[in-house]
Chain A
Amino acid sequence: MAGLELLSDQGYRLDGRKATELRKVQARMGVFSQADGSAYIEQGNTKALAVVYGPHEVRGSRSRTLHDRAVINCQYSMATFSTAERKRRPHGDRKSAEMSLHLKQTFEAAVMTQLYPRSQIDIYVKILQSDGGNYSVCVNAATLAVIDAGIPMRDYVCACTVGFVDETPLADLCYAEEGGGGSSLALALLPRGGQIALLQMDAMTACKGVSKVLDEVVRQHLQDVSVLTRE
């Protein structure tokens, strides 16, 4: 039995995309009226919902209050029905905690927190359906929600994953491609300044071509993503 052929000789991927093509992106802002900001995004079969509350005064322990800027509180969770096999724990596992932390770091870099000292901004993201690229879809959803809430940012954060198969970088991996054994790189950017907000790589085998991936795919498609998410 052979494994999956991630990239055919004709240059088509499993789902028929070419190496640098993104999945179909659809987004809506302001899906909930009670929250301060909200957004729903679909990237292929990955669907995510983001909700933003705040800025408001720090709740819970006051000791977390920062005098010069706002505290960003992120929570990432996956719906129990988001994967093929029903999940037992929607949040609170190690992976979600890690993802929450990454989101927090990303948005601390993007949101102009110094405008709201002694306050808190909550970002809740939920994956409704998972099909690869969870992190990047969450970032994109959260960005839209933050925009919807009207919180000033240095730049819109756009994120995408990149894989690497046979010396060819593949943009926006689906679940089968992520599990295909190659390396995958999640990247969040501030496109105007060309700054990287977060870079995370998962690889079974050492990835020799990180720079190639960064240069070819990311720079080239940065603009696409930022345009799409802004719509």
Chain B
Amino acid sequence: MLKSKTFVKKTRSGGVMKIVREHYLRDDIWCGSEVCSECKQESTVLQRDACIESNLCPFPHYLVPDTNVVLHQIDVLEDPVIRNVIILQTVMQEVRHRSAPVYKRLKDLIHDKEKHFYTFTNEHHRETFIEREPGESANDRNDRAIRVAAKWYSQHLKTPEAEAEGLRVVLITNDQGNKAKAEESGLLVYRCEEYIKSLIANPELVDRLALSNNEQNEISSSKVLFPEHLPLSRIQAGIKSGTFLQGTFRASRDNYLEATVFVQGEGEDSTEIILQGLQNLNRAVHQDVVAVQLLPRDQWVAPSSVVLQDDVFNVQKGERGKVVGIIKRNWRPFCGMLNVSQIKESTRHLFTPADRRIPRIRIETRQASTLAGQRIMVAIDGWPKHSRYPNGHFVRSLGSAGDKETETEVLLLEHDVPHQAFSQAVLSFLPKMPWTITPEDMVKREDLRQLTVCSVDPPGCTDIDDALHCRELDNGNFEVGVHIADVSHFIRPGNALDKEAANRGTTVYLCGRRIDMVPELLSSNLCSLRSNVERMAFSCIWEMNHNAEILKTRFTKSVINSKASLTYAEAQMRIDDTSMNDDITKSLRGLNKLAKILKRRRIENGALTLSSLEVRFHIDSETHDPIDLQTKELMETNSMVEEFMLLANISVAQKIYDEFSECALLRKHPAPPPSNYDILIKAAKSKGLEIHTDSAKALADSLDVAKVDGFSYFNTLLRILATRCMMQAVYFCSGMDSDFHHYGLASSIYTHFTSPIRRYSDIIVHRLLAVAIGADSTYPDLMDKHKQSALCNNLNYRHKMAQYAQRASVAFHTQLFFKNRGILNEEGFILFVRKNAIIVLIPKFGLEGTVFFDGKGKTGVNLRFDEEVPSLTVEQHTFHMFDKVNVTISLDDSNIQHQKIRMALLEPVIPGVSVPAPEVEPQPKKPKLDR
């Protein structure tokens, strides 16, 4: 029998469309019951002996729940006791529209053979299909459909056979009206509570009943979740009058319900306002510029002080407020992964960004099944006030998650590192190949080709930007030259190449990949001071006596011809090998000798020697997977090169500042506030040592003497800790600041001059110096301190991001490394003690990890934290900083998006906290290749 369904629907563009669909009614939909002999069904689901022992229904019966019962009491329905249930198609469809998770659970129930749940397609059954009557609401029609179907079942099962069994159909509903109408039509109806309470054998089921205040549980989709944003005019008026404050919204990494707004006040002072709760966050996304209103004190809530994640969320004191409007959205495309909806036909899915501070985004896509397991990019389109999540759209796929290329792409994008290939406009400013030095180039250059210049760099370095020479003069003094690649000769101010380099700011070094600041032709060829080719350089030449005192300083543009490109190890070998006496070696020895004197003098002046562990991966040449990991070693030659670079930087800084006191680009390292050292002083005190932090000199001296017998690594640990106390060094323009001091190097002035291939700051310094010595002409932007200052801000930002990206890359490769190694057992030291965790450093891998003492499956552990020492007592054992512990290291990949290294305590053994030692698996000698 054919029926036609007609209804109207609103289209996307807002119009109203009439939709006509066919609706076939069938005679071949069977009831699914064992007792039925009429239906020609092949297999039955509902049992003949459908007995649930109940006070109310002592006879066998089938249950017919209505939609609200399924939605709210799915926990009860899942109980093994509840069997022989008829789920009507009407109910299925309603559940599907209302709640995806419940729908999924319901489907699982139906597929479970033990449960005997039968789906009856009542909407297509000739006798149970009903049409909506005029004036009847959709809900009422569905309720009626359920009653009609239940009625049909009770009539249908009135066969002699079923009568003998006493089989009946019980409708379960919580709706009073529905119940009354059903009773009227002679059905057996119970409320859910009534029925469950009547079950004899299972009193505990009652506890699982959801409290139903039936009508209020109705999910209305048009509910407004957030307060309206104020229009811009009112925000501006509010900011002017001081009722609102403007600031940058920063979401908390650890708690999605918390955020801070950073309000830049007059001059230096700035305040942070704490926001809590979805309503107060009011749809602001990380980095948006927002207007906030302060809340009165009685509405304040204390921020959560317990660490929910690895990092500590500091308990901050500050004003509380709420977002009243968005001044500027700072949305960018976000990387992350798709949470595929539980309904497989659904086209709307939630997207979880890699950055925890970004909320989940709802997107619409039809290719969800292909996108699952891939890293994708999604852009936010808007955030309506009645939506829990912002709406967005799919931008592009980056590749499958966990893939090395994909993950590298993700971390570059997430750290805002410009890494696209250089554009044609940029490349057009490159010199034409083949390139040679022309006589015009020589006009303002000194010919230093005859000098024995050589470069010393890490192995595999192709962007060599510095080279050195040293020779003895006739008067017995030394002539020392530092030659830096003349990048500013190739990159002329203001062209596309220059703008691109200024934007990139720095070359980013990741494990196994380098993202160049300037195109490769320059970075690895024309600018790189390779051996035995003529290259243009900017030279800084000193005349020194044997005590390394500078007698004369000279800067010049030059042409050099490096005689050798050495690695640190090769240079070291030449110096140590007494049999070698060629010019290069002699030059190196002279440099080394002077460097030692310079270093000693610098340390006497109070320069800090800090420590941080850096790791190096041995990368498999074919698969590019990390196969080994070791901490970087430092050799004498490292410090030799470093010493002369520092000297050149300081000399240049002085020269450009003398020449341009308003617009010199310098680098400063502010002294940290004394409170930063608290942790260091406390830590040393616990070992009976005293650290003086009055000046850099005092700190350096006390670090030198801080040693504990039988604990050789202690000093390194202390230095690592001291490094964490430091401030970030920054670029600035001399005209905009008065404090030039470089704390770490104990120098009154400093800049970056020696790496123009990989840092844009050095290019600017080169240009300034070239103007100062009359080798090049100036241009307006170079002398504009405001533009210079803006440039410094970008450079500082890029440097910070590059550092984060590098760290993230190391972290990812560390994970790759541990992925194939199972659970490792390593020795480490406690670096910090936290309220509920200790942070452990594994010197062998330069790896830091957190051992949690609470959290999943570890409740009830007795923790006492003493902030003064600091120490953490777990049950009977007290942890202090620098304690030696044994931990197991494994990769936690339960969350593909946020894989991390998981550490667990092995020794000291604390019952209930520490884990048993992992079984030592014999390491396979050599992995066999199955081809």
Q: Do A and B bind each other?
A: yes
Specify which of B20, B123, B347 is in contact with A16 (CB 8 Å cutoff): B123
Q: Can you spell out 10 A-B residue pairs with CB atoms less than 8 angstroms apart? A: A2-B345, A3-B343, A3-B345, A3-B346, A9-B110, A16-B26, A16-B124, A85-B15, A181-B347, A205-B367
A56 contacts the other chain (CB 8 A): no
B474 contacts the other chain (CB 8 A): no
A32 to chain B, nearest CB (A): 26
Specify which of A2, A16, A24, A174 is in contact with B100 (CB 8 Å cutoff): A2
Of B17, B24, B92, most A-chain CB atoms within 10 Å: B24
Contact indicator A24/B21 (Cβ below 8 Å):
no
A202 to chain B, nearest CB (A): 14
Give every chain A residue within 8 A of B119 (Cβ-Cβ).
Answer: 8-10
CA distance A118 to B855 in the complex (A): 88
Give every chain A residue within 8 A of B20 (Cβ-Cβ).
Answer: 45, 84, 131
A14 contacts the other chain (CB 8 A): yes
The 4 closest A-B pairs by CB, nearest first: A16-B124, A16-B24, A3-B345, A2-B346
Contact indicator A45/B4 (Cβ below 8 Å):
yes
Contact indicator A2/B24 (Cβ below 8 Å):
no
Known A2-B346, A2-B348; further 7 A-B contacts with Cβ < 8 A: A3-B346, A4-B345, A9-B110, A15-B22, A15-B23, A24-B2, A205-B370
CA distance A4 to B18 in the complex (A): 17
Task: Knowing A9-B119, A85-B15, A131-B20 are in contact, say whether A1-B97 is a contact too (CB < 8 A).
Answer: yes
Q: Mark contacts of A31-70 with chain B using CB atoms, 8 A cut-off: 1 yes-contact digit, 0 otherwise.
A: 0000000000000110000000000000000000000000
Q: Mark contacts of B729-766 with chain A using CB atoms, 8 A cut-off: 1 yes-contact digit, 0 otherwise.
A: 00000000000000000000000000000000000000
Q: Using CB atoms, name the residue of chain B closest to A24.
A: B2
Contact indicator B22/A45 (Cβ below 8 Å):
yes
Q: Mark contacts of A188-205 with chain B using CB atoms, 8 A cut-off: 1 yes-contact digit, 0 otherwise.
A: 000000000000000011
Q: Which residues, 170 to 198 on A, are CB-close (under 8 Å) to B?
A: 174, 176, 180-181
CA distance A14 to B370 in the complex (A): 25
**Mostly helix, strand, loop or mixed at chain B's interface?**
mixed
Specify which of A8, A44, A84 is in contact with B121 (CB 8 Å cutoff): A8
CA distance A131 to B20 in the complex (A): 9
B81 to chain A, nearest CB (A): 24
B667 to chain A, nearest CB (A): 55
B25 contacts the other chain (CB 8 A): yes
A6 contacts the other chain (CB 8 A): yes
A23 contacts the other chain (CB 8 A): yes
Contact indicator B23/A16 (Cβ below 8 Å):
yes
Q: Which residues, 463 to 499 on B, are CB-close (under 8 Å) to A?
A: none
Give every chain A residue within 8 A of B345 (Cβ-Cβ).
Answer: 2-6, 180
Contact indicator B348/A174 (Cβ below 8 Å):
no
Contact indicator B23/A181 (Cβ below 8 Å):
no
Q: Using CB atoms, name the residue of chain B closest to A11.
A: B121
B96 contacts the other chain (CB 8 A): yes
Contact indicator B343/A23 (Cβ below 8 Å):
no
Q: Which residues, 1 to 57 on B, are CB-close (under 8 Å) to A?
A: 2, 4, 11, 15, 17-26
Q: Mark contacts of A81-104 with chain B using CB atoms, 8 A cut-off: 1 yes-contact digit, 0 otherwise.
A: 000110000000000000000000
Contact surface of B with A, Cβ cutoff 8 Å = 2, 4, 11, 15, 17-26, 89, 92, 96-97, 100, 107, 110-111, 119, 121, 123-124, 341, 343, 345-348, 366-367, 370
CA distance A45 to B111 in the complex (A): 34
Q: Using CB atoms, name the residue of chain A closest to B93.
A: A5
Contact indicator A3/B347 (Cβ below 8 Å):
yes
B927 to chain A, nearest CB (A): 34
Give every chain A residue within 8 A of B17 (Cβ-Cβ).
Answer: 84-85
Contact indicator B124/A12 (Cβ below 8 Å):
yes
Contact indicator A181/B22 (Cβ below 8 Å):
no
A219 contacts the other chain (CB 8 A): no
CA distance A174 to B343 in the complex (A): 22
Q: Using CB atoms, name the residue of chain B closest to A204.
A: B366
CA distance A177 to B89 in the complex (A): 19
Q: Using CB atoms, name the residue of chain A closest to B347.
A: A3
B101 to chain A, nearest CB (A): 12
A93 to chain B, nearest CB (A): 19
Contact indicator B21/A14 (Cβ below 8 Å):
yes
Give every chain A residue within 8 A of B367 (Cβ-Cβ).
Answer: 205
CA distance A2 to B343 in the complex (A): 7
A212 contacts the other chain (CB 8 A): no
CA distance A44 to B92 in the complex (A): 26
Q: Using CB atoms, name the residue of chain B closest to A85.
A: B17
Contact indicator A1/B348 (Cβ below 8 Å):
yes
CA distance A5 to B366 in the complex (A): 14
Give every chain B residue within 8 A of A230 (Cβ-Cβ).
Answer: none
Give every chain A residue within 8 A of B121 (Cβ-Cβ).
Answer: 8, 10, 12, 16
Of A16, A24, A181, most B-chain CB atoms within 10 Å: A16
A157 to chain B, nearest CB (A): 25
CA distance A191 to B791 in the complex (A): 76
Q: Mark contacts of A116-135 with chain B using CB atoms, 8 A cut-off: 1 yes-contact digit, 0 otherwise.
A: 00000000000000010000
A154 contacts the other chain (CB 8 A): no
